[in-house]
Amino acid sequence: MARKVSASRIGFMLCCFLFPGLIGSFASFSIPAPLVDVIHQQAALDAVLAAPTPAAQQAALASLPQAVDEETAAIATQGSAPLPARIAAATTHMRQHALAQARASAYRIRLMVITMTVLGAIFALMLMGPDRHE
């Protein structure tokens, strides 16, 4: 017995696969977020070293807690090492932290896309299954 497959079922099955693909496409736009964050934090750290006067440097140091994460700000503002060494250590810490964030975001996005794709495929297979005749 030949099974008749309707165009609406085929269309729905395609949607089940296209939906996760679109989710993945849109999610991929959030991947650069940690990089953008690093750029802003690096600019704040560079502003401390590029300050033209000691007063401007102190103002830039005082604004670091709002511009960078708490640990990076602590590394830059506390300690007895020379300021360039503290800023270099803060930069290294900030980059390591951003790398960890980027990896975690990428993992969550991949997991979301894979999960949605598998669920869409299962749903499509259920719909494409044999017709039930009474």
Mean pLDDT of 72-99: 93
Q: Taking residues 29-51, what's their average pLDDT?
A: 87
Instruction: Report the distance separating Cα 60 and Cα 90, nearest Å.
Output: 14
Residue 66, both tokens: 């709002």
Interval 71-88 mean pLDDT: 92
91 residue type, one letter: T
CA distances from 101 to 19, 30, 50, 134 (A): 26, 12, 28, 55
Residue 131's pLDDT band (cuts 50, 70, 90): low
- Between 31 and 66, the more confident residue is 66
Report pTM. 0.69
